[in-house]
Amino acid sequence: MTQDTEWDVVIAGAGPTGLTLANHLGVLGIRTLVVEVLPQIIDYPRGVGMDDETLRSFQAVGLADKVSKHTVPDQIMSFVDRRGKTLIAINPPGQPYGWPRRNGFIQPLVDKVLLEGLARFPHVTVLMQHRIEGFTEQENHIRIDAQPVDQNGGSEGTCRTLSARYLVGCDGGRSPVRGRLGLPFDGKSESTRWLVIDLADDPIGTPNVALVLNDDFPYVEIALPHGIRRFEFMVPEGADEAEYAKPARIKELLARVLPAHVQARVIRHRVYMHHARIAPDFRKGRVFLAGDAAHLMPVWQGQGFNTGIRDATNLAWKLALSVRKVADDRLLDTYTQERHAHAGAMIDLSVLVGRIFAPSHRLLRMARNFLAPLLFRSAGVRRYIGEMRFKPMPFFKAGVVVHRGAPDPKGLSGKMLVQPWLTDNSGQARRLDDVIGLRFGLISWSVGVDAWITPGSRHILNQLNALPVVVRPPCQDLTRAVPEDGAVLADRDGSFKRWFDAAAGAVIILRPDRIVAAVCHPWELDATLNTLATHMGLAPAKAGMAAVPQRHAPCAEAA
C-alpha cells in the first residue's frame, strides 16, 4: 500500500452510507477519514426498513449482531383498505442470504453502532464539525479543503488541506460534493409532504407495518424496536408545513388513529418531501458519489437506506484494490456500471408503490379501490407480491462479472450468492460469509480445483486474496483433499447442492460483496480468471508465469 498521501480515502458525510463504507475500508486496512459537518450523527426520524442484503453487509464487518438488537425481524407489510380489511400482505419466506428479509429498525441507534464500530480501526478517523469547501484533483491524488465549523455550521478557525487517493461524497441529497462536480440530479420531487411522528410506549404493540389506503386520510403505521410506534400522515396540498406539525395538530391527527383516552407520548416528529432523483454518473475522476448523494427515492419500500448500503458494499473493495495498485481504473469504472441501473430500478419501484398507495387524482383512487380487491384474489398475484418477487435484485450484465455467452437474468452469474449454514470439520455450524471473510472466495462443489490452477491463475487468486472453499455432502470426509490454504465445509441441509443443481458449473468465483463473479467448470477456471482479471484491470503476472506446463490445459476463454 502506498504511503505518499495523508489518507487513502476521504468520505464526506457520517450518515449510514459513509459509516458503512468506512467500516468496510477499515476491515480492509485502508487509511480512511470521515468528514462530517454536524457535531454528532443525526437523531431524528428517518429510515425504518432494513433488508437482508444490508444485514449481510453489516455481517461482513462484524456488526450484524449489534445492529440486530435494534431491529424487528420478519416484519410483515400489509395494505389495508379504508374498512380495515387486509388486501394483501408482503411476507417473504426463508432467509436465502442468511438474515430476515424485512426488518424494522431505528436508524439513529444503528448509525451509532456503525460509528462506534470505527473505533476498532487505528487507521480510520472521524472528523466532526468540518465542511468540505472544495477539492482539486492532481495526477495521483486529490487535494481537499476542510473548513472547521461551529455548532450552527458557520466557519470557524483555519481551513485544513487534506491529501487523499480518493474522495467519496456520502453527504446527502443536497450533496455539496455532487454540486462541485457539476453533476445534475435528474428526476423530480413530489409536491406531497408527509408528517412523520414517533411515539414512545407503543400504544398498539403489534409487530408489523400497515399502509392504510384511506382516500381522505391515508397513513402508515410502523412497529419499531424498543417500544416505539411510527405514524406517517400525508400533509394536504396547500397546508402550511409549520402549522401542520404543531402539537395541537399532531394531537388531532393521532386522535384519528388511536382511541380517545390514549395519551400518546411523542418522541420526535418531522415533515418530509418525497424525491425521485439520480445522478447520471456515480464517478468523476477520483471522486465518487454514494447513497443519497447519488440517488433519492420515495420511502414506500424502505429502499433508500438499503440502496446506499449496497453502494458502499460495492465500492469499498474496489477502492481497496485500487489503493493497493492491484487493479487499475477499469475496476473503478464498474462502480457506476453496476450500481446505477439497480438504483434506478429501486426508484421506479418506490414511485410505483407510492402511486398505488396515494394516487394523486380522485379517479385514480376510485380505480385502485375497485381493481385492487379483484387483482389480489389471484393466487399468482398474491404469491408474487407476498413473497416480494417484485423487488429488483442486483444483476450485473457487465462489470466485474464473467458470463458464459449472453448475460442471462435467469442465470446465477452477476447475482448475489445464497448464504446457507454450513458445518466445519469440528462440527461447528458456520455461515458461509464468516468462513470466507471480507475477501474473494473460490468455492467448488465436492472436489478442490488445485489441479486446474495454473501459475497464472494462482497469481490472480493471490492478488485477490481468494480463499478456496470446498463444499461437500455431510456424509463425506471433510479432512480429505483440503485445498491449499483453504477450507472444506459440509452442506448441512442440501441448500448449497440445490444452488449447484441450477448452476452451469461446479466452481464459483465469489466477490467480497457476495456477488457471483463467475460460474464455470474446473477446466474453464484458468480462462475465466484471466477474463475476470482483464475486466478488473489487474496487474499482469510476470513474464512466463502463465506458460508453465500444467496437468490439465484450460479450454478457450470464457466470454
pLDDT at 103 over 70: yes
CATH class of 421-547: alpha beta
The per-residue pLDDT for 541 is 64
Provide the pLDDT for residue 359.
66
pLDDT for residue 245: 83
- Supply the pTM of this predicted model: 0.92
What pLDDT, on a 0 to 100 scale, did the predictor assign at position 46?
Answer: 81
157-188 burial: b if 16+ Cβ within 10 Å, else e: eeeeebebbbbbbbbbbebbbbeebebebebe
Q: Which residue would you say has higher pLDDT here, 400 or 372?
A: 400
Residue in the structure block whose three cell numbers are 455548532: 151
Looking at residue 547, what is its pLDDT? 36
Give me the mean pLDDT over the 124-147 stretch.
95
Assess whether pLDDT exceeds 50 at residue 556.
no
Specify the higher pLDDT residue, 44 or 52: 52
Give the pairing type, strands 467-472 and 487-491: parallel
Work out the pLDDT band at 555, boundaries 50, 70, 90.
very low
Highest mean pLDDT among 182-196, 212-226, 331-345: 331-345
- pLDDT tens across 379-399, in order? 887 777 777 777 778 899 999
- Pick the closest to residue 77 from 205, 211, 198 (CA basis): 211
Set of cell numbers at residue 12: 464526506
The pLDDT value given to residue 19: 98
Q: Is the dihedral of CA 170, 176, 182, 183 positive or negative?
A: positive
- Average predicted confidence (pLDDT) for the chain: 89
Per-residue pLDDT, averaged over 220-246, amounts to 89
Task: Please report the pLDDT score of residue 552 as a whole number.
Answer: 32
The pLDDT, as a whole number, for residue 301 is 65
Q: What is the mean pLDDT of residues 22-42?
A: 96
Radius of gyration of the chain (CA): 25
238 or 345: whose pLDDT is higher?
345
Domain boundaries along the sequence of the chain: 421-547
Number of Cβ atoms within 10 Å of the Cβ of 489: 22
131, amino acid identity: R
Report in angstroms the alpha-carbon separations of 284 from 167, 323, 410: 10, 17, 33
pLDDT band at 545 (very low <50, low <70, confident <90, very high): very low
pLDDT exceeds 70 at position 543: no
Number of C-beta neighbours around residue 337 at 10 A: 17
* Interval 462-476: pLDDT, tens: 999 999 999 999 999
